[in-house]
Chain A
Amino acid sequence: MKKTSAFVVLPLVLAIASPLFANGTKEAADSAFKPSKDIEWFVSSSPGGGSDIYTRMISDIMTRGDLSGGQSFLVANKTDGGGEVVRLQVSRVAAGAQADHTLLTFNSGDLMPMVKNTANRLENFTPIALMAVDKQLLYIGEMSKYKSFAEIIAAVKGGAKVVIAGSKGDDVATYELLVKELGFTQSQIAYITNDATSGAITSILGGHVDLVISKPAAADQYVVAGKLTPVLALSKTRFTGNLAGAPRLSELGAYKDVEFPVWRGVVAPKSMSPAAVAYWSRALKEVSESAAWQSDYIGKFKLQPAYMTSSETAAFMAEFQATYLKSIGK
């Protein structure tokens, strides 16, 4: 039985533990790393959500492309504390084999509440890679009173009040930028936060709000079916395909374009060894170049591919965090 052996071995282990671990990490840094046990991959949101699909897509491609060294990925969804608990846990994994086999899905929508509501910071993680960037658009529904965003601007100037529905985190941040750029107040254009974009889309399909903010993936089929029409691209360039009709803000008057890129990345514990960081960063690069990723994820969900290496990602995320902290006055 495990427990009896544990008791017998304990004193022995305590005696030899520290030199052993020191050796282990040194060795890992010297030689090339290869996964030697199952990889625990944490996701801070529920199964079936955007982050979950993203994670399972990557781990699936890695397993099939033999990038996991024959080990399997144990994807664990931990949603306690709005995801803060698992983020804290990953940031605290001690150096060693465990740290080299722990990954965490990390998006801008994760970083923002983390730095806003807790003392946990990006510096407690090792960024591994950035995989893709998502951007939003504003859509009107079939029952919307207004037919274009120019009409909405005019109506609000004329005293009308407009309601936008959207998801949490990055959607709210984009909305706040937009309202500021337009020079309106948050009561002239109000915002309803939903748990997920699907909730926001439900309310516009029922005609309960005027506008919905969404990334292309979640709204795609409604656009194809003609139930939603994009009216504003929250991006510095127009979108392509069936979203090409949506103008940028600068096309509608003396405004600057409003853009709040939503990036999707992967991070690891701060204590992950450099060799392991290099390994995972390279493996994710191969994923990002694979045909499956390009067509089944990037192409299908209309993201922009944006692979970055570990150090590039670190710099990018750090700048994002600094800008965000400044914007909330922290």
Chain B
Amino acid sequence: MDRKRSPAPFGVNQVIPIAAAAMAGVFIWLGLGRYGFWHEDKGPLPGFFPVVIATAMLIFSAFAFFASFKEAAPSWPRANWYVVLSVALIIGATFLLGLIPSIAIYLLVWLRLYERCSWRATLVTFGVVMAIVVGCFVLWLGVPFPKGIIFELIFR
């Protein structure tokens, strides 16, 4: 996804309308086939509203698709996807380590290794964020964050 600025005629501008059309197709198919459209006494069935909207979406996506070739393709700087990647890693690590430790590791690694902050900046930021998360969310509001497989194994 991290393509550089390219004049390629086919890119995300076209993918979005196509994806939208595909989604509309699925909603129409399931709506008509499985959920029902109209009942003579009850009026609209569960499929009615989504099918109507999906049909409209199909039409809009066709317009958007043909208009898309006139638009400039956006650029996708690689750095932006590191944020996405890190959250994906946090989600993955949560199942193993638990949410709080995963966040703690992420903060330290990101600040110290990626941003190359000084230890002082790293620890101050780390301290403030963890104080909010642990202090407010965990201790005060009592949000039960997942503890992860490893913790469960040890402290059951």
Question: Using a CB-CB cutoff of 8 Å, which residues 97-113 of chain B contact chain A?
Answer: 97-98, 100-101, 104-105
Contact between A14 and B156, CB atoms less than 8 A apart: no
Q: With an 8 A cutoff between CB atoms, is A3 at the interface?
A: yes
Stretch among A5-13, A149-157, A237-245, A307-315 lining the B interface: A5-13
Chain B neighbourhood of A13, CB < 8 A: 153-154
Q: With an 8 A cutoff between CB atoms, is B142 at the interface?
A: yes
Contact between B42 and A1, CB atoms less than 8 A apart: no
Q: With an 8 A cutoff between CB atoms, is A97 at the interface?
A: yes
Contact between A98 and B154, CB atoms less than 8 A apart: no
Q: How far is the CA of A13 from the CA of B149 in the complex (A)?
A: 12
From B98, which residue of chain A is reached at the shortest CB distance?
A2
Q: With an 8 A cutoff between CB atoms, is B87 at the interface?
A: no
* From B41, B42, B97, B144, contact of A6 by CB (8 A): B97
Contact between A190 and B42, CB atoms less than 8 A apart: yes
From B96, which residue of chain A is reached at the shortest CB distance?
A6
Chain A neighbourhood of B100, CB < 8 A: 2
The residue among B101, B104, B150, B156 with the most chain A CB atoms within 10 A of its own CB is: B156
Q: How distant is A236 from chain B, measured CB to nearest CB, in Å? A: 31
Take A3-B105, A9-B154 as given contacts and tell me if A187 and B97 are in contact as well, using a CB distance cutoff of 8 Å: no
Contact between B101 and A74, CB atoms less than 8 A apart: no
Contact between A74 and B142, CB atoms less than 8 A apart: yes
Q: With an 8 A cutoff between CB atoms, is B151 at the interface?
A: yes
Contact between A96 and B101, CB atoms less than 8 A apart: no
From A9, which residue of chain B is reached at the shortest CB distance?
B154
Q: How far is the CA of A10 from the CA of B100 in the complex (A)?
A: 18
From B150, which residue of chain A is reached at the shortest CB distance?
A6
Contact string, B113-156, partner A, CB cutoff 8 A, digits 1/0?
A: 00000000000000000000000000000101000001111101
Interface bin, chain B: 10 to 19
Contact between A187 and B144, CB atoms less than 8 A apart: no
Q: How distant is A222 from chain B, measured CB to nearest CB, in Å? A: 28
Q: How far is the CA of A34 from the CA of B30 in the complex (A)?
A: 51
Chain A neighbourhood of B153, CB < 8 A: 10, 13-14, 17
- A–B complex contacts, Cβ < 8 Å, 7 sampled: A1-B101, A2-B151, A6-B97, A97-B156, A98-B152, A186-B41, A190-B41
Chain B neighbourhood of A6, CB < 8 A: 97, 101, 150-151, 154
Contact between B41 and A187, CB atoms less than 8 A apart: yes
Q: How far is the CA of A98 from the CA of B152 in the complex (A)?
A: 9
The residue among A2, A21, A96, A97 with the most chain B CB atoms within 10 A of its own CB is: A2
Q: With an 8 A cutoff between CB atoms, is A40 at the interface?
A: yes
Chain B neighbourhood of A1, CB < 8 A: 101, 104
Q: How far is the CA of A2 from the CA of B98 in the complex (A)?
A: 10
Q: How distant is B36 from chain A, measured CB to nearest CB, in Å? A: 15
Q: How far is the CA of A14 from the CA of B153 in the complex (A)?
A: 8
Take A187-B41, A190-B42 as given contacts and tell me if A40 and B144 are in contact as well, using a CB distance cutoff of 8 Å: yes
Q: How far is the CA of A97 from the CA of B104 in the complex (A)?
A: 28
Contact between A96 and B156, CB atoms less than 8 A apart: yes
Contact between A76 and B42, CB atoms less than 8 A apart: no
Chain B neighbourhood of A21, CB < 8 A: 156
Contacts A10-B150, A97-B156 aside, 11 further interface pairs with beta carbons under 8 A come to A1-B101, A1-B104, A2-B100, A6-B97, A6-B101, A6-B154, A7-B150, A17-B153, A21-B156, A98-B152, A187-B42
Contact string, B83-105, partner A, CB cutoff 8 A, digits 1/0?
A: 00000000000000110110011
- For the complex of A and B, list the 3 residue pairs with the smallest distance between their C-beta atoms, beginning with the closest: A187-B41, A3-B101, A6-B150
Contact between A3 and B144, CB atoms less than 8 A apart: no
Q: How far is the CA of A38 from the CA of B144 in the complex (A)?
A: 12
Q: How distant is B94 from chain A, measured CB to nearest CB, in Å? A: 12
Q: How far is the CA of A114 from the CA of B42 in the complex (A)?
A: 25
Chain A neighbourhood of B105, CB < 8 A: 3
From B147, which residue of chain A is reached at the shortest CB distance?
A2
* From A3, A7, A40, contact of B104 by CB (8 A): A3
Contact between B156 and A2, CB atoms less than 8 A apart: no
